Structure 1
Amino acid sequence: MRPQGAVFVVLPHLGLILVWLFTSNQMSGWCEGPQKLAWCPPYKVVLLVWTTIFFIIGYGSYLVWKDLGGGFGWPLALPLGLYAIQLAVSWTVLILFFEARSPGLALLHLLLLYGLVVSTALIWHPINKLAALLLLPYLAWLTVTAAITYRLWRDSLCPENHPGPTAEEPLRP
């Protein structure tokens, strides 16, 4: 691997590091609440998986860059531009989830991210098949993340999570 490969592998982690610096205090109780999910992984596992995924997709982006001749010419604009947008959206999802604690908005961004990753895989496939295949674990993780996020969003809308009327307050029709 060329020295530029290290840049491609490390680049996705810059956003993850910034997210962690800004949200580390909020992460420990990320999946707790009135209806805690039994299958929800601890936040340290979530960070480990995101870190691994970012290594994998970073290497995939390097393979695409290398196969298109390196540099920063027009042939790289679509495959790496789409990848850059995907990274920005993935960092946004983490901020929305951990810092803003907005599972509904995070879920919308996850669905957008899912579409971006599928599009990236389709664009990368003719360039480098391995790079496209390296996006499959990312899609699997996004599926798990979307399921957790959906469940947390749904539970936040359930009536048992919202305070009901007190004894002094009559029910209104």
Structure 2
Amino acid sequence: MTMWLPLIGMTALPHVGGIYGGFITRQQVKTWYPTLKKPSWRPPNAAFPVVWTCLYTGMGYGSYLVWKELGGFSENALVPLGLYGLQLALNWAWTPIFFGAHKLKWALIEIVLLTGTVGATMVSWYPISGTATLLLAPYLSWLCLATSLNYCIWRDNPEKKEE
């Protein structure tokens, strides 16, 4: 059973922030978010929880593959798992900034940093596990879409822009 604990724990870990973000988002999607001008190409609200569940599972499993390949939390794991941890923290921070604080510009800056950190994580994972790297590819693609969406919302809602 103990051999399954890291697999389950590391795969489930990203969902912790996702669940927390869901609580923040749920009310705002009904009240504040509909007041924003959004581009016509925006995915429907119902797509977001499905997509994020898949992405969180993939990134979590990818982190497990890297951890396993490097023999656990070793000195060799510092950069690849450190970058992963940084991007996960940035991922979890975006929702409270955008949906919680309604800070469109700060959310945009934050998601640009997040997207870059995911790219750096992928670069650091590639020599360790091609599979883990590929598991982050849909996540990076989705973040590019989300970054574009955040930018358009910030641009198209000047009355909502913070000082």
Settle same-fold status: TM greater than 0.5: yes
Q: Is it true that 1:109 corresponds to 2:110 in the alignment?
A: yes
State the Cα distance separating 1:145 from its structure 2 match.
Answer: 0.3
Q: Is it true that 1:10 corresponds to 2:30 in the alignment?
A: no
CA distance in 2, matches of 1:35, 1:78: 40
* Structure showing greater relative contact order (alpha-carbon pairs closer than 8 Å, 6 or more residues apart): 2
Given residue 78 of structure 1, which amino acid in structure 2 is its aligned partner? V
Structure 1 counterpart SS, 2:49 = helix
C-alpha change, 1:29 and 1:143, in structure 2 (3 Å) is: farther
Match of 1:64 in 2: 66
Match of 2:150 in 1: 149
Based on CA coordinates, which of the two structures has the bigger radius of gyration? 1
Structure 1 counterpart SS, 2:34 = coil
Match of 2:120 in 1: 119
CA distance in 2, matches of 1:26, 1:116: 27
Match of 1:97 in 2: 98
TM-score (norm 1): 0.83
Given residue 20 of structure 1, which amino acid in structure 2 is its aligned partner? G
State the Cα distance separating 1:76 from its structure 2 match.
Answer: 1.4
Given residue 13 of structure 1, which amino acid in structure 2 is its aligned partner? H
State the Cα distance separating 1:38 from its structure 2 match.
Answer: 2.2
4+ residue runs of structure 1 moved beyond 4 angstroms? none
Instruction: Judge conservation of contact 1:31–1:40 (CA < 8 Å) in 2.
Output: no
Given residue 73 of structure 1, which amino acid in structure 2 is its aligned partner? S
State the Cα distance separating 1:29 from its structure 2 match.
Answer: 4.9
State the Cα distance separating 1:94 from its structure 2 match.
Answer: 1.6
CA distance in 2, matches of 1:142, 1:55: 15
Instruction: Judge conservation of contact 2:37–2:157 (CA < 8 Å) in 1.
Output: no
Identity over aligned pairs, percent: 40
Gaps of 5+ in 1: 163-173
CA distance in 1, matches of 2:43, 2:96: 18
Match of 1:20 among 19, 22, 32: 22
C-alpha change, 1:30 and 1:114, in structure 2 (3 Å) is: farther
**Residues 78-93 of structure 1: matches in 2 within 5 Å?**
78-93=79-94
Structure 1 counterpart SS, 2:16 = helix
TM-score (norm 2): 0.88
CA distance in 1, matches of 2:131, 2:32: 34
Match of 2:41 in 1: 39
CA deviations over 1:47-96 (Å, ceiling 9, x no partner): 221121110111110100010012x2212111111101100101111211
Which structure shows the higher helix fraction?
2
CA deviations over 1:14-54 (Å, ceiling 9, x no partner): 01111222342112356533634322223331122112111
